[in-house]
Chain A
């Protein structure tokens, strides 16, 4: 603000005019209302005052790559953090492409947080290495700790969860999902103190151990604010009924095993328990669900917006009947055992659908010729024009079908198509699937995330580079012909943040064409491509602010088997295991 332009008021001191128009308190008050970390990052760049006001008012920290910054740097900049979200390993570690003990250990962070943020309340971790000792440390160091969410993490066991249950007296959320953990026993549930009543979210659906159903019942009875309860498959239907009558206020329910074991009276009781749950928006679990007991759900399905059947291999017949009761569905996750007929029913019954995920029931079977095909996808697109997010595993696809799909649903933001046979062409024309993904990027202007598959030449990537201007995440496997493909993407996709590539013929020329690009991205992963150590060294030399890490296979040649490149203000990793070579 230029003081000479502003007409000074009479009693004002000239020196005041050199400061920001707003006093700090006002600026901080305004900025504290800004929630999105992206907006906050932008605000912090405006000027020094805004930077300071922002850092004093930020309470939620989101770190998409734990190695892009160090705990010390974070602690110096943000003094008042209450909630931390941390993501660690590259996404391909979910598919066993990253060796064990790669890193992303939470302990280094906890050590710093314990000193600087003793009032930390929330920790949400994804793909981090977490030990039982870390969990115990966490439970004992942060007295007001409320929220723990562990997704796709590994290294801990139910003993660590016991520490959390026993020591976190203010816990409101315990969300353990899909981790590589040791399921020793279900005794952790019994570690909650008898007077503990603050739980709002409890998700232990992916644990296998048996918990004490009595302890769970008592816990559920005490926690009047419980809104999310997802039990594991050892909880039977009759036990579920007893839980439901104690928690009719639930908004999200993950059932246990749906195997028949009820008398007719118990069946009626379960049905009535479900119909009393008037607020249910999400149902999941449903292990072993068959036609026999699915009808108990019907009464609760009227307001259902998210149905997660991705652990229930139900057939199209019972699926159709269930769907008829779910007109308000916005998100649906199913197995491909529902087949195309099931998906046709989705098209007719769920006009509000925004997200569809179809998982393969037999992804590794050679001689299975079922599952879903392109016609199921087309059928859904015809009936659900509001589709934005799709994840679709199939064994056959055509360019024409995809073109039809995106014509029906131009609002896709996430399009993840996995034709399970690598490099498979359009099965009707035998051509590459280039035109399919061309149609996707040309039609779906809002596309943020894309996963491609099937037989693809460089043309696909030309299309992506030319049209996918909002693309942020791209996953490529067994595709492309030459460096040109990757170059097109790096040059054209201005908003690209995450690029993960495996088994493609992209080499050093492609890698180095992105020299200008990588610092504006979160990360690049290339495995089983044609990149060599020399190429990686060159990249590392030219861009010292990038961490260029290579994991080599056992052969001694020059190929860089697994390359992981990411920007960092923390410098090279200090905790890299021997198999990770930082260049």
Chain B
């Protein structure tokens, strides 16, 4: 009884597989059989440049390893670009990049390929496919948990675009050029303000008290104001809605989520934003 092809993701069906794979293995090792060569053009591989017979298929299986009775080479050759990657798509994704990591094996056959490379190539493969088979219900994560994860990811991505870093432009009135900072590398306003101070010190942001800053949110927010109060500058940011806001009002996380760019504004311009800052700077000036 034949296993329906579309379920034979990785060549689990033994009989049909063994014949084909033994053919293919011998042919690919000799690298002269036409039955493999004519498909080699279309097959995506990660072999070193110049090695036509050796290489690891994109799909992570070692083409040369004769030990693998389950070699899914026949998958590729019998169905060209269908096969393993079909089964992967947006929702049923698997991580192929771990598949064939044989660090101990120094033989030419088992090539280490960096996950990144495989990903790039895989993406191009996926893009070229129009029909794919979804793997429903795998990995076996309960629907509820899956939905919760999806929402969490959407929220995170919707907010920042990337969960790892968030570079925003920082402009300072009067400075000839702008800077960029990754606000994700800071954990509170105090860190951000001291970093900005260092960055723009050449443009004389003013005397800033650098005594010990408390770690708590509330205090650091007012402290930022204190720092900049001693100068003619006020730190503002543009939020998602396009409004210019005073930095320090909202909790740090909320700030990082909504901040699009920063501007170190002259306090004389900061009318209506930070009356206290203006007053203090006026007093000190």
Beta-carbon nearest neighbor of A373 in chain B: B98
A418 at the interface (CB under 8 A from B): yes
Contacting pair A396 B91 (CB below 8 A): no
Contacting pair B14 A424 (CB below 8 A): no
Contacting pair B7 A367 (CB below 8 A): no
Contacting pair A261 B216 (CB below 8 A): no
Residues in A whose Cβ lies below 8 Å from that of B141: 95, 359-360, 363, 393
Residues in A whose Cβ lies below 8 Å from that of B149: 361-363
Q: How far is it, in angstroms, between the C-alpha of A114 and the C-alpha of B258 when the chains are bound?
A: 54
Contacting pair B135 A420 (CB below 8 A): no
Q: How far is it, in angstroms, between the C-alpha of A480 and the C-alpha of B149 when the chains are bound?
A: 31
Residues in A whose Cβ lies below 8 Å from that of B146: 363-364
Residues in B whose Cβ lies below 8 Å from that of A264: 214, 216, 218-219
Q: How far is it, in angstroms, between the C-alpha of A43 and the C-alpha of B97 when the chains are bound?
A: 55
Indicate the member of B96, B143, B153 with the most A CB atoms within 10 Å: B143
- Contact check: which of B14, B62, B96 meets A482 at CB < 8 Å? B14
- Contact check: which of A424, A429, A475 meets B99 at CB < 8 Å? A424
B71 CB, min distance to chain A CBs, angstroms: 10
Number of A-B contacts (CB under 8 A): 165
Contacting pair B137 A428 (CB below 8 A): no
A375 CB, min distance to chain B CBs, angstroms: 13
Q: How far is it, in angstroms, between the C-alpha of A368 and the C-alpha of B115 when the chains are bound?
A: 9
Query: A interface, by DSSP: helix, strand, loop or mixed?
Result: loop
B residues sitting closer than 8 Å to A (CB atoms) are 1-4, 7, 9-10, 12-14, 62, 65, 67-68, 70, 87-88, 90-104, 110, 115-116, 119, 122-123, 135-146, 148-149, 152-153, 187, 214, 216-219, 251-253
A residues sitting closer than 8 Å to B (CB atoms) are 92, 94-97, 152, 178-180, 206, 259-264, 267, 292, 310-311, 313, 359-369, 393, 395-396, 418, 420-425, 427-432, 455, 457, 475, 477-482, 502-505, 507-508, 528, 530, 532, 559
Q: How far is it, in angstroms, between the C-alpha of A428 and the C-alpha of B68 when the chains are bound?
A: 13
A417 CB, min distance to chain B CBs, angstroms: 11
Residues in B whose Cβ lies below 8 Å from that of A532: 1
B213 CB, min distance to chain A CBs, angstroms: 13
Given A96-B143, A97-B136, A178-B145, A430–B68 Cβ distance below 8 Å? Answer: yes
Given A361-B149, A478-B12, A366–B95 Cβ distance below 8 Å? Answer: yes
Contacting pair B97 A507 (CB below 8 A): no
B149 CB, min distance to chain A CBs, angstroms: 7
Residues in B whose Cβ lies below 8 Å from that of A418: 139-140
Contacting pair A427 B137 (CB below 8 A): no
Contacting pair A393 B139 (CB below 8 A): yes
B200 CB, min distance to chain A CBs, angstroms: 27
Q: Beyond the given A363-B146, A396-B101, please list 18 additional residue pairs across the A-B interface where CB-CB is below 8 A.
A: A94-B140, A95-B140, A178-B142, A262-B217, A263-B218, A264-B216, A267-B216, A359-B145, A363-B139, A364-B93, A366-B97, A366-B119, A366-B122, A420-B139, A423-B9, A424-B98, A425-B68, A432-B70
Beta-carbon nearest neighbor of A451 in chain B: B140
Q: How far is it, in angstroms, between the C-alpha of A313 and the C-alpha of B153 when the chains are bound?
A: 11
- Contact check: which of A94, A362, A367, A429 meets B143 at CB < 8 Å? A94
Beta-carbon nearest neighbor of A262 in chain B: B217
Beta-carbon nearest neighbor of B12 in chain A: A505
Residues in A whose Cβ lies below 8 Å from that of B217: 260, 262-263
Contacting pair B142 A94 (CB below 8 A): yes
Q: How far is it, in angstroms, between the C-alpha of A520 and the C-alpha of B68 when the chains are bound?
A: 38
Contacting pair A395 B145 (CB below 8 A): no
* A and B contact pairs by CB, cutoff 8 A, 13 listed: A178-B142, A178-B145, A179-B144, A261-B251, A264-B214, A292-B187, A420-B94, A422-B9, A424-B98, A425-B68, A530-B2, A530-B4, A532-B1
Contacting pair A395 B148 (CB below 8 A): no
Contacting pair B68 A507 (CB below 8 A): no
Residues in B whose Cβ lies below 8 Å from that of A360: 139, 141
A324 CB, min distance to chain B CBs, angstroms: 20
Beta-carbon nearest neighbor of B146 in chain A: A363
Residues in B whose Cβ lies below 8 Å from that of A94: 140, 142-143
